[in-house]
Amino acid sequence: MHNNGRFGIHGGQYIPETLMNAVIELEEAYNRYKDDPEFKSELSELFNEYAGRPSRLYYAKRMSEDLGGAKIYLKREDLNHTGAHKINNVLGQALLAKKMGKTRLIAETGAGQHGVATATAAALFGMECVVFMGEEDTRRQALNVYKMKLLGAEVIPVTTGTATLKDAVSQAMREWTSRIADTHYCLGSVMGPHPFPTIVRDFQAVISDEIRSQMLEKEGRLPDAVIACVGGGSNAIGSFYHFIPDEQVELIGCEAAGRGIDTFETAATIHTGRLGIFHGMKSYFCQDEFGQIAPVYSISAGLDYPGIGPEHAWLHDTGRARYEAITDEEAVGAFEYVSRMEGIIPAIESAHALAYAMKYAPSLPKDKILVVTVSGRGDKDCVSVAKYRGEEISE
Ligand SMILES: *Cc1c(COP(=O)(O)O)cnc(C)c1O
Say yes or no: 305 and 183 in one domain: no
Alpha-carbon gap, residue 103 to 126, rounded angstroms:
8
Domain boundary (200, 222, 241) is at 200
Catalytic residue flag (residue 86): yes
Check which CATH number belongs to the domain holding 158 and give it. Answer: 3.40.50.1100
Domain boundary among 173, 200, 227: 200
Query: Are 226 and 132 part of one and the same domain?
Result: no
Does residue 271 belong to any structural domain of this protein? yes
Asked, for residue 381, whether it belongs to a domain, the answer is: yes
Domain check: are 16 and 79 in the same one? no
Q: Are residues 63 and 24 in the same domain?
A: no
Residue 395's pLDDT is 65
Is there a domain that residue 104 lies in? yes
Digitized pLDDT (tens) for each residue of the chain, 395 residues in all: 345 799 999 999 999 999 999 999 999 999 999 999 999 999 999 999 999 999 999 999 999 999 999 999 999 999 999 999 999 999 999 999 999 999 999 999 998 999 999 999 999 999 999 999 999 889 888 999 999 999 999 999 999 988 888 999 999 999 999 999 999 999 999 999 999 999 999 999 999 999 999 999 999 999 999 999 999 999 999 999 999 999 999 999 999 999 999 999 999 999 999 999 999 999 999 999 999 999 999 998 889 889 999 999 999 999 999 999 999 999 999 999 999 999 999 999 999 999 999 999 999 999 999 999 999 999 999 999 999 999 998 76
Q: Is the CB of 76 under 6 A from ligand 1?
A: no
Q: Is residue 63 part of a domain?
A: yes
- Cα 353 to Cα 72, 91, 341, distances in angstroms: 12, 25, 16
Residues of the domain holding 324: 52-83+206-388
Same domain, 227 and 323: yes
CA torsion through residues 386, 389, 393, 394, sign: positive
Does any ligand 1 atom lie closer than 6 A to the CB of residue 347?
Answer: yes
Q: Is the CB of 302 under 6 A from ligand 1?
A: yes
Pocket of ligand 1 contains residue 346 by CB under 6 Å: no
Q: Is 173 in the same domain as 254?
A: no
* Residue minimizing CA distance to atom 1 of ligand 1: 302
Kindly state whether residues 306 and 196 are assigned to the same domain. Answer: no
Using alpha carbons, select from 133, 46, 132 the residue that is nearest to residue 95.
46
Please identify, among 172, 200, 228, the residue that sits at the C-terminal boundary of a domain: 200
Same domain as 271, residue 334: yes
Asked if residue 251 is part of any domain, the answer here is yes
Of 27, 77, 108, 342, the active-site residue reads 108
Beta bridge partners of 287: 293
Q: Residue 88 half-sphere exposure, CB side, CA atoms within 13 Å?
A: 30
Q: Is residue 395 part of a domain?
A: no
- 135 belongs to a structural domain: yes
Residues 176 and 241 in one domain: no
* Residues 94, 127: Cα–Cα separation, whole Å: 9
234 and 379 together in one domain = yes
Establish whether 108 is a catalytic residue: yes
* Pair 155, 298 in one domain: no
Tell whether 326 is covered by a domain.
yes
Total count of domains within the chain: 2
Q: What angle do CA 382, 387, 390 make, to 5 degrees?
A: 135
Q: Are residues 13 and 135 in the same domain?
A: yes
Is 311 a residue of the active site?
no
- Residue whose Cα lies nearest atom 4 of ligand 1: it is 231
Spacing, Cα 303 to ligand 1 middle (Å): 7
Omega prior to 54 cis, within 30 of 0: yes
